Amino acid sequence: MLLRAATYAALFIGFVLVFLPARVLSRAGVRAPAAFGARQLLGAAVTLAGGVLALGCVCTLTVVGRGTPAPFDPPRRLVDRGPYAWIRNPMYVGAVVALLGAALYYGSWALGAFALAFLLVAAAFVRLYEEPTLRRMFGAEYAAYCARVGRWWPLRSRTRLAPPPLP
pLDDT digits (tens, 9 = 90+) for 78-88: 999 999 999 99
pLDDT for the residue 167: 53
pLDDT for the residue 7: 79
With 70 as the cut, is the pLDDT of residue 1 above it? no
Mean pLDDT of the chain: 88
Q: What is the pLDDT of residues 106-142, one digit of tens each?
A: 999 999 999 999 999 999 999 999 999 999 999 999 9
Query: Could you give the residue ranges of the DSSP H alpha helices within 13-130?
Result: 20-27, 38-63, 90-106, 109-125
With 90 as the cut, is the pLDDT of residue 158 above it? no
Tell me the average pLDDT across 88-96.
95
pLDDT for the residue 77: 94
CB 28 within 8 A of CB 84: no
Neighbours of 12 (CB within 10 A): 18
With 60 as the cut, is the pLDDT of residue 159 above it? no
pLDDT class of 73 with cuts at 50, 70, 90: confident
pLDDT class of 9 with cuts at 50, 70, 90: confident
pLDDT for the residue 165: 57
* Bigger pLDDT: 16 vs 57: 57
Q: Which has the closest alpha carbon to 36: 112, 124, 106, 138? A: 106
CA dihedral 102, 62, 74, 140 (to 10 degrees): -110
Rounded to whole angstroms, how far apart are CA atoms 126 and 73?
Answer: 16
* Bigger pLDDT: 127 vs 21: 127
Tell me the average pLDDT across 88-106.
95
